[in-house]
Amino acid sequence: MDNGIQIWTVPVTGMYVIEVSGASGANGTEIGIDPASWRLGGLGAKIKGTFKLQQGTQLKILVGQEGNRTEGFGDAPGGGGGGSFVTLLNNTPLIIAGGGGGGGSTSGQFEDGDPGQATENGTRCGGTGGSGGQVCNTKTGNIDSGLIAGGGAGIKGNGNGGPNIARTPSSFINGGTGGSCPVSKGGFGGGAFAFDNGGGGGGYSGGGVVGTSSSGVAGGGGSYNNGTNQLNMAGVNKGHGKVIIKLKT
Local confidence pLDDT in tens for the 249 residues of the chain: 667 899 999 999 999 999 999 999 999 877 777 777 789 999 999 999 999 999 999 999 999 999 997 766 667 899 999 999 999 999 999 999 999 999 998 877 889 999 999 999 999 999 999 999 999 999 998 999 888 899 999 999 999 988 788 999 999 999 999 999 988 999 999 999 998 899 999 999 999 999 998 899 999 999 999 999 999 999 999 999 999 999 997
Structure confidence at residue 55 (pLDDT): 98
Q: Give the domain ranges of the chain.
A: 1-249
Structure confidence at residue 40 (pLDDT): 93
pTM: 0.96
Return the closest-CA partner of residue 135 out of 210, 244, 232, 80. 210
